[in-house]
Amino acid sequence: MAKTKIKYVCQECGYESPKWMGKCPACNQWNTMVEEKEIKTTRHRGLSTDVNKKVGKPESITTIEMEKESRITSDMKEFNRVLGGGIVPGSLVLIGGDPGIGKSTLLLQISSQLAEKNLKVLYISGEESVRQTKLRADRLEIKSENLYVMSETNLQELGNAIEEMSPSIVVVDSIQTVYHSEITSAPGSVSQVRESTAELMRLAKGNGIPIFIVGHVTKEGSIAGPRLLEHMVDTVLYFEGERHHSFRILRSVKNRFGSTHEMGIFEMKEEGLIEVTNPSEIFLEERSSGVAGSTIVASMEGTRPVLVEIQSLISPSSFGNPRRMATGLDHNRVPLLMAVLEKRAGLLLQNQDAYVKVAGGVKLDEPAIDLAVAVSIASSFRDQAPKPDDVLIGEVGLTGEVRRVSRIEQRVQEAAKLGFKRAIVPTKNLTGWSAPSSIEVIGVQSVQEALKVSLGGS
């Protein structure tokens, strides 16, 4: 007989307690403990369902035979690159994003493209009926006979359909609507999400079927449910963008089969999502050249160099504590670089408000943008525009030195391709490669030297 036990589970972090508490001791959130009934059973199923495979027996790594499995590619090159070159058979991919951002549209388009290649695709929607999914398909002009649609939230029925149909690709939209009948908690709870994902992982690994699952996000921007969810899947993708703007960014934050922090750009139109092959042109098309506080940086997003504009506005503060605000980059980086400029370059910034923004809605988190941010702040403070054909690349240390960055050759080549004439880079990055003839590369050792080259003067 199965034993039933009552427990209280935090819906934010998954912390379990035998008694109710107003505040979760793990994540310090209030009123997140929800009562759930835990039914303990002795039935467990392994990952592999293939009787020809040896299960549970250790093997020497030198005796394991590898079969090269080709990835499944769609017609969207941006989507393939974010996944590391295509869809890996048997992988479990989690896609998260804000409501209405276009997750279902993206997956329905990918499903249609794969179905056109004679692959059997099963699209399971727990939030829409089959007729509502058909309405979206008609808007996207999807008419593939190999694309099958199903509206189901029961995990057992869902698993039976996958076992009977044996599709090449499965999409589950969304994991928060799927429930396990043996678990008494509501769909979307920590227990339901954990058990449903574990069962889908067994189906994916055991049958070699890649499964895409859609996850809702919280108001903080993280995927709802336990943190364990992101550890269980093979790949975690975030679909970002402003709902009132047409551009969307698909970002990889975890990938067992490719590089992380890869980024793909899409544009939302009436006929669906269209991939953007050259995002640097998109981010720079509305740039105002010859304006103080505007600089260009070549940032690496995964394996791709992207040129974006950094804007700064420095104005005298009306209060005792000046404001430091940043959009698109770490807000702690702005006061740090302002302190370096004040100490090493002699700029009196302690009574100035600072507003720094990465134009275009993209988020940058690598240290190579430090030099561009510092020059942008100094340019706005002096009200002196930098040269419009300059690209700045480099990490800034606390002593004012400009430090080496990675993949400098790719960054400079991207800048030369877009017509920039000068690249201001760390001196340590000048050796070991050759720059294109159309761009001049200038090495700097300190912030003071970079300000002199870019803005002129001392």
**What residues are paired with 265 via a beta bridge?**
249
Mean pLDDT computed over 204-208: 92
Residues 412 and 382 in one domain: yes
Q: What CATH number is associated with residue 127?
A: 3.40.50.300
| pTM of the predicted protein model | 0.79
Q: In total, how many domains does the chain have? A: 3
Give me the helix-helix angle, 370-382 and 333-344, nearest 10°. Answer: 60
Tell me: pLDDT of 181 over 90.
no
d(CA 325, CA 83): 33
At residue 56, the pLDDT reads 61
Tell me: pLDDT of 2 over 70.
no
d(CA 196, CA 156): 10
The amino acid present at 9, given as its one-letter code, is V
Confirm whether 52 is domain-assigned.
no
Contact 176, 224 (CB under 8 A): yes
Collect all residues with Cβ–Cβ distance below 8 Å to 15 and sequence separation of at least 6: 9, 24, 25, 26, 27
Residues 102 and 10 in one domain: no
d(CA 322, CA 31): 36
Structure tokens at 170: 């499965």
99 is in an annotated binding site: yes
Query: Residues 368-380: pLDDT tens digits?
Result: 999 999 999 999 9
At residue 82, the pLDDT reads 93
- What is the per-residue DSSP string for 249-309? EEEEEEETTS-SS-EEEEEEETTEEEE-S-HHHHHHTT--TT-TTEEEEEEEETTEEEEEE
Residues 181 and 294 in one domain: no
Tell me: pLDDT of 99 over 70.
yes
Tell me: pLDDT of 94 over 80.
yes
Q: Which of 53-67, 120-134, 223-237, 273-287 is predicted most confidently? A: 120-134
At residue 42, the pLDDT reads 46
335 is in an annotated binding site: no
104 is in an annotated binding site: yes
Residues 103 and 194 in one domain: yes
At residue 392, the pLDDT reads 97
Mean pLDDT computed over 184-194: 82
At residue 446, the pLDDT reads 96
Query: Residues 54-68: pLDDT tens digits?
Result: 456 888 888 887 776
**In this prediction, what percent of the chain has a pLDDT beyond 90?**
61
Mean pLDDT computed over 185-198: 85
Confirm whether 126 is domain-assigned.
yes
SS3 assignment, position 429: helix
What is the gyration radius of the CA atoms in the chain, in angstroms? 26
Averaged pLDDT of the chain: 88
d(CA 81, CA 79): 6
For residue 174, whether the previous peptide bond is cis, meaning omega lies within 30 degrees of 0, is yes
Mean pLDDT computed over 211-227: 75
85 is in an annotated binding site: no
Query: Residues 255-309: pLDDT tens digits?
Result: 999 888 788 989 988 889 999 888 888 888 888 878 999 999 999 988 889 999 9
Buried b (16+ CB within 10 A) or exposed e, 21-54: eeebeeeeeeebbbebebeeeeeeeeeeeeeeee
Residues 258 and 304 in one domain: no
46 is in an annotated binding site: no
pLDDT band, residue 219 (cuts 50/70/90):
low
Contact 312, 377 (CB under 8 A): yes
Structure tokens at 84: 């590391």
At residue 100, the pLDDT reads 85
Query: Residues 324-366: pLDDT tens digits?
Result: 999 999 999 999 999 999 999 999 999 999 999 998 878 898 9
Tell me: pLDDT of 386 over 80.
yes
Residues 208 and 193 in one domain: yes
Last residue of a domain, one of 218, 249, 277: 277
d(CA 427, CA 109): 47
| Domain carrying residue 3 | 1-41
Residues 271 and 331 in one domain: no
pLDDT band, residue 49 (cuts 50/70/90):
very low
Last residue of a domain, one of 277, 302, 322: 277
At residue 221, the pLDDT reads 62
98 is in an annotated binding site: yes
Residues 408 and 376 in one domain: yes
- Of 1-5, 82-86, 143-147, 332-336, the range with the lowest mean pLDDT is 1-5
SS3 assignment, position 169: strand
Residues 3 and 93 in one domain: no
At residue 52, the pLDDT reads 42
Residues 233 and 267 in one domain: yes
SS3 assignment, position 6: strand
At residue 50, the pLDDT reads 45
Confirm whether 338 is domain-assigned.
yes
| Residue appearing with tokens 């017609």 | 75
Q: Which of 249-263, 290-304, 313-327, 398-412 is predicted most confidently? A: 398-412
At residue 45, the pLDDT reads 52
Q: What CATH number is associated with residue 380?
A: 3.30.230.10
Confirm whether 58 is domain-assigned.
no
Residues 173 and 102 in one domain: yes
d(CA 149, CA 129): 9
Last residue of a domain, one of 250, 277, 304: 277
Give me the helix-helix angle, 370-382 and 447-455, nearest 10°. Answer: 60
Tell me: pLDDT of 182 over 60.
yes
User: Strand 3-10 relative to strand 33-40: parallel, antiparallel, unpaired?
Assistant: antiparallel
Confirm whether 48 is domain-assigned.
no
d(CA 236, CA 213): 10
